[in-house]
Amino acid sequence: MPKVDKYMAIVYCWINTHKERMYTARVVLALIDFIFGLIEAIIGLRIFLELFGANPYTPFVTWLYEISRTLLYPFQGIFPSPVLKGGVVLDMSAIVALFIYAFLAYLLSELIRFINFNSSRYYSNANEKRK
């Protein structure tokens, strides 16, 4: 009978550890989604405002351009930004940045899921080998 209690304790410990890892992975995934969603919203709003020719001297637009400038810095000059009729700018670096940030968010999320899945599989295999 003591042998069964020992294995039950191991299984119980594994289940609790597994639940904690799953919870941590969900929190990290939510953080990644929130941060990159905020970045993409800022860049998307910038593209929208530039596309419709918003006045860059209004406080909100100036504030948004200042915030998004740091996010777009690595992508400046990759493609030329054409100026359309009426002074409307199609900011190609912002569009490229939007896709790159979305792709980075996807890669990070998949990496977290991959690590979480493989660690769960590793610990379940290790517990089976102990038996």
pLDDT of residue 120: 57
**Alpha carbons 108 and 26: distance in angstroms, whole number:** 13
Q: How far apart are CA 42 and CA 60, in angstroms?
A: 12
Residue among 100, 89, 16 nearest 47 (CA): 89
Point out the residues of the chain with pLDDT beneath 50: 1-2
Q: What is the pLDDT of residue 104?
A: 96
> How many alpha carbons lie under 13 Å from residue 25 in its C-beta half-sphere?
19
CA pair distance 58, 54, nearest whole angstrom: 9
Residue-range definition of the domain harbouring residue 56? 2-130
pLDDT value of position 80: 84
Residue located via tokens 């660690």:
119
Dihedral, 15, 21, 23, 27 alpha carbons, nearest 10: 180
Q: What is the pLDDT of residue 1?
A: 45
Our count of domains for the chain comes to: 1
pTM over 0.85: no
